[in-house]
Amino acid sequence: MGKTSLISRFVYSRFPFSYQTTLGVRIDKKVVALDEASLNMIIWDIGGEQTQARVPESYYLGSSGVIYVFDLSRPSSFFNMVDDINFIKKKLPRTPIITVGNKTDLLDEQTLEEVKNILPIKADYYTSAKTGKHVETVFIKLAQAMIENVR
């Protein structure tokens, strides 16, 4: 899906060219400066599982926001989208969730539009960790939604 790459792009401004599976969880941190406040964002990069039900319960603890990432170039990565989102909403009610279709760099404009049409749920953002397209926006929007949520 490119979750680790998205985080690497956001936190370290770099794109890892080799693919490495995330087995469990990897934690990163970045202070996000917003207009009204700055936010200490601790990002839990959770390994992709066939379904969210396989993710250990404890990984959800203390979550204030969720970025759900799928791979636009692999339909199998968004087949479970509706079930996954419903599962997360059940686990973390009232927590903002942002859906992200990643790897736009692998699709031409026409194919991207075709893929958008077959998505079970419209994604909030279409990103490319490789080029950095919309990556910053995703995290900033989530930060704003999280602050809004606790007000």
Partner 1 sequence: MSVNQLKINYLAKKAQVVLFTSEGGLIESCDTLIDVTKLTKQSSLFEAFPMLESLQSNFNLLNDIDNELYFPRVEFSYNDKEWVFDFTFYKKNDAKGVFIWLIQDLTRQYRYLFDVQQERNESIVKEELRKAQSVPEILQRDIEYLNRILRLKLDYFTKLTYDIKNPVQDIYSTAVLLKEHIKTNEGEAYLHALSSSVHLLNTMLDDMLELSQLDIAKTPFENKLFLLPEVLWAVIKTYDYTSHKQNVTVKLNVDTDVVQKLWGDAIRLSQIMYNLLHNAFKNVSKGGRILVNVHLIEKKDNEVLLKFVVKDNGKGMSNEVLQKLFHEKEQPNALAKLNEIPFYKNNMGLIITRQLVNLQKGTIEVDNVNGKGTQFSVVLSFNVEKNLKK
Of residues 76 through 95, those in contact with partner 1 by CB under 8 A are 76
| 21, 54, 148, 150: which one binds partner 1 (CB under 8 A) | 21
Of residues 40 through 59, those in contact with partner 1 by CB under 8 A are 40, 42, 44, 47-48, 56, 58-59
User: How far apart are alpha carbons 108 and 138 in whole angstroms?
Assistant: 21
Q: How far is the CB of 132 from partner 1 (least distance, A)?
A: 22
Task: Name residue 95's amino acid.
Answer: T
Q: How far is the CB of 62 from partner 1 (least distance, A)?
A: 5
Of 62 and 93, CB closest to partner 1: 62
- Taking CB under 8 A as the binding criterion, the range among 24-32, 88-96, 113-121, 137-145 that sits at the site for partner 1 is 24-32
User: How far apart are alpha carbons 124 and 126 in whole angstroms?
Assistant: 7
Residue numbers of the site for partner 1 (CB under 8 A)?
19-29, 40, 42, 44, 47-48, 56, 58-59, 61-62, 74-76
